[in-house]
Structure 1
Amino acid sequence: MSGWSVSNTLSGDEIDTAYRWIAAESYWAKGLPRTFFERSVANSLCFALRDAAGELRGFARVVTDKATFAYLCDVFVCASARGQGAGKALVSAIMAHPELQQLRRWMLATRDAHGLYAQYGFSALENPERLMQRLDQDVYARLSSQEP
């Protein structure tokens, strides 16, 4: 299926859909509190993938300074659109975005889509020993247990 379109605008209903995908269906952000998702959307360059009928079929965010660095995250294509070029359409539009050109470094994390991202120049880290992380794997569970 062709006819994919990508934009940087999402309606309130589309943000609701993207939140459900990320918080309920993704492996990386299950249980993400809604307020955190809304803050992440407000502070990122977001992308909506729509089919030929204009229905939301995918979502992604880029965290960036728009000058030197970008982190591609929350890339999600709904099950009904997978295997139809939707992921390629979404990533192609992101990589072609005018505000994301000539960046020195792009990063992302993926469990199972290495082949997709390799088509856009992503590769394993050349010097992984130089990178560090601070990961709080249980933060969403702790936050949800504190809610009334």
Structure 2
Amino acid sequence: MFSLTRADGYLLSTDPARLDLDRVHHWLSTEAYWALGRDRETVARAFAGSIPYGVYRPGDGAQVAVARVVTDRATFAWLCDVFVDAGERGNGLGTWLVGAIRDHLDGLGVRRILLATNDAHGVYAKVGFAPVAAERWMELDRRDAAAVPVTPVTPPAGKERTGQSPLTVEA
């Protein structure tokens, strides 16, 4: 586990046992535009499958910020669910948290970290994040899967897949 203490006593920890999942669920499901309405079980499963980062206030140890990273711990990471309690904003906790996460992942050898934000570009830019070359990225967004029928891709009978692409079949 990773931990770091800021000069003013705030503690960052990746110990999943320290997370206040009820509080994290409340923040995400009621205050975070990207996770409004997310149920508690989904929050718990998401954090269980990720590296959790909690920030705890000096003195009472209450959790005041959170983030999680989905990663292979070798080459790639997705930074998500970054949230700082409204009462703690404005004192650099978000920038400190994201910078510490960047440095922790660097120590694991992770060289590419991806994230998405609607409104915190300045926070992330302070620690080195820059816009992506969007034409290189693709996505499969199944959040509204009921509205989009999925047709499996299968090669025609007698045809084998080529080595060019997992979805390319010989014509």
Q: TM-score, normalised by structure 1?
A: 0.84
The one of 105, 128, 131 equivalent to 2:134 is 128
Give % identity: 41
In structure 1, C-alpha distance between the alignment counterparts of 2:110 and 2:143, rounded to whole Å: 29
Structure whose CA Rg is larger: 2
Unaligned runs of 5+ in 1: 140-148
The number of residue pairs the alignment matches comes to: 138
Structure 1 distance, partners of 2:105, 2:77, is 13
- Change in CA separation of 1:100 and 1:110 when aligned onto 2, cut-off 3 Å: farther
Moved over 4 A (4+): 10-13
The two structures, once aligned, show a CA RMSD in angstroms of 2.1
Structure 1 105/99 Cα, relative in aligned 2: closer, same or farther at 3 Å?
A: closer
- 1:67 is matched with which residue? 74
* Structure number having the greater helix percentage: 1
1:137 is displaced (CA, Å) by 4.3
| Contact persistence 2:73–2:109 (CA under 8 A) | no
Structure of greater relative contact order (alpha carbons < 8 Å, 6+ residues apart): 1
* CA shift digits 1:74-131 (9 cap, x unpaired): 0000000000111122112212226754323110001111111112211001x21111
Residues 13 and 73 of structure 1, relative CA distance in 2, 3 Å threshold: closer
For 1:53-92, what aligned pairs fall within 5 Å after superposition? 53=59, 54-92=61-99
Structure 2 unaligned runs (5+)? 1-6, 146-171
Q: Does 1:21 align with 2:27?
A: yes
Give the TM-score, by structure 2 length: 0.73
Residues 31-110 of structure 1 mapped to structure 2, 5 A cutoff: 31-53=37-59, 54-97=61-104, 101-110=108-117
* Residues 19-50 of structure 1: CA deviation (Å, up to 9, x unaligned): 11011110001011222111101100000011
